[in-house]
Structure 1
Amino acid sequence: MRALITLSDLELVGLLKAGDHAAFAAIYDRYKGLLYVHALKLLKDEDEAQDVIQEVYAALWKNAPHYNEAIPLKAYLYRAVKNKIFDIFSHEKIRSEYVIQFDEIIQKGTWITDEQVRERELIAAIEAGLEQMPPKMREIFELSRFSGMSHKEIAEELNLSDKTVKTQVHNALTILRLKLGSFFCFFLL
């Protein structure tokens, strides 16, 4: 092992490509401290920096037979560390964006869905109340509430007295209140 310490990076890479475990250990010992400090500066987390270094060395060993000797070992290792860190940052950014989007979907989506369900139920309850009304009362109520006509305009159009229109609208509202009363009590609970 002592003799390996004196070898150049290029010589160590040659031995590494041949599967020499001692050459790998020598490379590890030569650069582990420098790479760790480099990773720690960028990550600001000791455990994460150590994980990055381990991954880089594992990849170096796995891909050793294909290592391009034209690339200086030190530059290769620094670049590998930097790339791993960029991958971490990229995944953290994507993860945080997913979390933000998921929170928005939960916050907006749930309330939108609840509101839509309530709106549909309310419309169904109103329609059921309208179905219970006699035809003339329903016509008067729809002209009053949905067409925005005044009692006087309805009376003139249907050839009725103002008092009859007013009574029919009042009775229609009473029917709807009874029909919708339980609906509103249900949502208040």
Structure 2
Amino acid sequence: METTAPSLSPAGHAWREWLDENGPRLLLFARQQTRSQEDAQDILQDALVKLVKKLEDGSFSGGQEAWMPYLYTALRRLAIDVGRRDDRRRRREDLVSGDSVFQRGEVEHPWFESDSSDDEVRSQIEAGLKELPPKFAEVIVMKIWGEQTFAQIGESLEISPNTAASRYRYGLEALKKKLGSARRKGDLSI
């Protein structure tokens, strides 16, 4: 694998191109999995470092097409670890202070940003996705914004492609219902 080593160096042109193309998708998925933009950026960096280490030591099997499924899986696992760590820390702090960050309303859950989208519509979609069960929301994000196939999603989430497809369908249906009810209430103008 001598030919791939130059493209993996941080200064490598091919690596930068790959990261420019796929970084926003990965960050979006990381943001969906974490509670803050900072945590999402941290776990994305950690996942990329893990990938590069595996590539450098030769323990990664597969070419560039296998990078995305590996990174989605790594992001998911790292987010779980960060969430557990933060929950333990928060419980310890709450015991000491008797005050919760949730009660103060300081927890932020960003999803995605787009300069071209209407802020009201974006916030409604973001809210709708947050209300979905995580197993549906993560498949929708990976399929639409991550541009992954159901086979790739299944590999990343360790589920069958058929399960990924059904979660996508059920999730979209639930999201349509949520957005439809918001629209009927006048909360959303599309």
TM-score by length of 2: 0.40
> Which has the higher relative contact order, 1 or 2, with Cα contacts under 8 A spaced 6 or more apart?
2
- The structure having more radius of gyration, on CA atoms, is 1
- Structure in which a larger fraction of residues adopt helix: 1
TM-score by length of 1: 0.40
